[in-house]
Amino acid sequence: AQSVTQLDSHVSVSEGTPVLLRCNYSSSYSPSLFWYVQHPNKGLQLLLKYTSAATLVKGINGFEAEFKKSETSFHLTKPSAHMSDAAEYFCVVSDIPGGYQKVTFGTGTKLQVIP
Amino acid sequence: DGGITQSPKYLFRKEGQNVTLSCEQNLNHDAMYWYRQDPGQGLRLIYYSQIVNDFQKGDIAEGYSVSREKKESFPLTVTSAQKNPTAFYLCATRERYEQYFGPGTRLTVT
């Protein structure tokens, strides 16, 4: 079975402070993991991805995430929040049971950045 | 948004009417997907197509239909049988493990 849990539906941080968005997953296979960002009424943009290479993954706009197999986690972090980071973030797990890709999205975390 | 076009951006329809949402891509990707997004529910898969002339139902296919006559195009029809059609619809393509998303169409049915 495949699932994704984003532990916080809303996160609020002050500008210039660190960001932590939490994601736990389950998969019966060796999954690929992704973080996407969505601004209001827009499509999803890929922030970063883990596909069984380095466990610490760096993405765009200063974001990074660490794949921890023992904790089944893939938390997204950024050292210093900018106002432009305010958006909704989705954690995604993907594997290929039986040769067909199955993709599961988390329910999203809305990030608010306070000036 | 890459090479994926969804039109129109906003669409309004009366209840009981079928409506077709357009999705066109120039990324040369074989696989294409339709998702529905509702507040607090993430994305839910409606239909997907691995290759031309083939498509499969996703998790919430009832009330929707698709066609895949060309590699570049994967239109979604929302029929009058869909009980709650008002939502944000996202089209995506896939290359290996990564999905690429269009800008979305917001459909409002009254």
Q: Which of A21, A27, A103, A109 to mutate to test the interface with B (most CBs of B within 10 A)?
A: A103
Interface test with B, best of A101, A102, A109 (most B CBs within 10 A): A101
Q: What is the pLDDT of residue A99?
A: 56
Quote the mean pLDDT of chain A: 91
* Helix and strand numbers, DSSP H then E, in chain B: 0, 11
Q: Helix-strand-coil percent breakdown of chain A, rounded to 5?
A: 10, 55, 35
Give the per-residue pLDDT at A5.
Answer: 95
- Asked if the model's pLDDT at residue A27 lies above 90, the reply is no
Question: Residue A25: which pLDDT band, with cuts at 50, 70 and 90?
Answer: very high
Give per-residue pLDDT as tens, A45-100: 999 999 877 889 999 999 999 999 999 999 999 999 999 999 999 999 987 755 56
Burial of B62 (0-12, 13-18, 19+ CB in 10 A): exposed
Output the pLDDT for position A34: 94
Q: Parallel, antiparallel, or unpaired for β B10-13 and B105-109?
A: parallel
Size of interface A-B (CB pairs under 8 A): 52
pLDDT at A40: 85
Question: What is the identity of the amino acid at B65?
Answer: S
SS3 B55: strand
pLDDT tens per residue, range B26-66: 999 999 999 999 987 789 999 999 999 999 999 999 999 99
The pLDDT assigned to B1 comes to 46
pLDDT at residue number A41:
81
Q: What is the pLDDT of residue A1?
A: 73
Tell me how close the Cα of B3 comes to any Cα of chain A, in angstroms.
12
pLDDT for res A100: 64
How many percent of chain A have pLDDT more than 70? 96
In whole angstroms, what is the distance from residue A45 CA to residue B55 CA? 25
